[in-house]
DNA sequence: ATATATACATAATTTTCTTATGCATAACAT
DNA sequence: ATGTTATGCATAAGAAAATTATGTATATAT
């Protein structure tokens, strides 16, 4: 990812959320999309991304379609049915996580 | 921590924030405080906490004072000057992280 | 020609956590 | 009195997830 180790553990959720929103994406596209959304702050490294995609596929949460565009290979990923269900859970967990972290950072705002 | 791996990488920031706020705390107290703040959702395990405290101390970010209370040992930790400075940076990173994650989860709300 | 962008992949290592275990005292319930 | 829960620290083995460093290959811009 980047310097801040806070992103550790959030990569799978990020991937799944983007796929839920975009329908289907290929690896490189995901890295660019995240960079764009976070204004360059979060850079997903290939060494983290590709193994993560492979694992999600192995778990049956993603499906792959290989296509050749401009003579270059692209592997398009999309959520399976199981993956879509799981995404809902992960996003709920993420919201809880964010809420908890905000409570820790700013205890005065939570009541 | 708990089930959700999202908390990976956030333990150091949590410890430092609490110490900034509370002045000084001992390990067990930190686990209880976090449990209380998050209404039982986040349980810091000893296997994660103590090595983290030792590392922060080794990095010169924390100081320790050992005290005996009720015939039981307590190791009170507090931020060093270096630790206090670093805490400011880590909290800024945390706020950026939260903002970025919220943007990813809910892109419509960011403009 | 050379660098940058696009597009995938994996291997070695590091970081961080979980799980399991160990020691010891205090408080509480039966 | 005896067992369980709470308090308080610690470390070791293993798993999970990342970083860093490579490797391959095509396209595009300078």
pLDDT at A3: 59
User: Which tens digit of pLDDT belongs to each residue from B75-92?
Assistant: 999 999 999 999 999 999
Counting runs of H as helices and runs of E as strands, what totals does chain A give? Answer: 4, 3
Could B4 and A107 be called an inter-chain contact, meaning their C-beta atoms sit closer than 8 Å?
no
The CATH code of the domain at A5-109 is 1.10.10.10
Q: How far is the CA of B45 from the C1' of D19 (A)?
A: 25
Could A94 and B6 be called an inter-chain contact, meaning their C-beta atoms sit closer than 8 Å?
yes
- Region of B60 (left: φ > 0; alpha: ψ -120 to 50; beta: rest) is left
Using a pLDDT cut of 90, give the percent of chain B over it: 89
**List of chain A residues with pLDDT < 50:** 1, 111
Domain extent listing, chain B = 5-109
User: Which tens digit of pLDDT belongs to each residue from B90-102?
Assistant: 999 999 999 999 9
**Quick check: B101 and A98 in contact, CB under 8 A?**
yes
* Confidence bin at B1 (pLDDT 50/70/90): very low
Over 70: is that where the pLDDT of B67 sits? yes
Q: How many CB atoms lie within 10 A of CB B17?
A: 20
Over 90: is that where the pLDDT of B2 sits? no
User: CB-based contacts with strand C under 7 Å?
Assistant: A 5, 8, 26-29, 32, 46-47, 50-51, 53-54, 69-70, 72-75; B 1-2, 7-12, 44-48, 51-52, 55, 70-72
Instruction: Give me the mean pLDDT over the B4-21 stretch.
Output: 95
User: Which tens digit of pLDDT belongs to each residue from B25-49?
Assistant: 999 999 999 999 999 999 999 999 9
List phi, psi (to 5°) of B9.
95, -10
Report the alpha-carbon distance of residue B93 to residue B6 in Å, rounded: 16
Nucleotides of C under 7 A from a protein CB: 6-12, 15-22, 24-27
Question: Which residue on chain A is closest to B2 by alpha carbon?
Answer: A97
Q: How do the residues of chain B divide into helix, strand and coil, expressed in percent and rounded to 5? A: 60, 15, 25
């Amino acid at each position: 990812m980047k310097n801040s180790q806070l992103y550790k553990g959030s990569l799978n959720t990020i991937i799944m959320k983007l796929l839920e929103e975009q329908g289907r994406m290929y690896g490189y596209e995901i890295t660019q999309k995240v960079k764009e959304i976070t204004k360059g702050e979060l850079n997903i490294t290939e060494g983290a991304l590709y193994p993560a995609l492979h694992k999600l596929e192995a778990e049956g949460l993603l499906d792959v379609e290989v296509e050749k565009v401009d003579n270059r290979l692209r592997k398009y990923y999309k959520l399976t049915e199981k993956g879509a269900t799981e995404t809902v859970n992960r996003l709920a967990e993420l919201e809880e996580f964010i809420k908890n972290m905000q409570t820790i950072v700013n205890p005065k705002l939570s009541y």
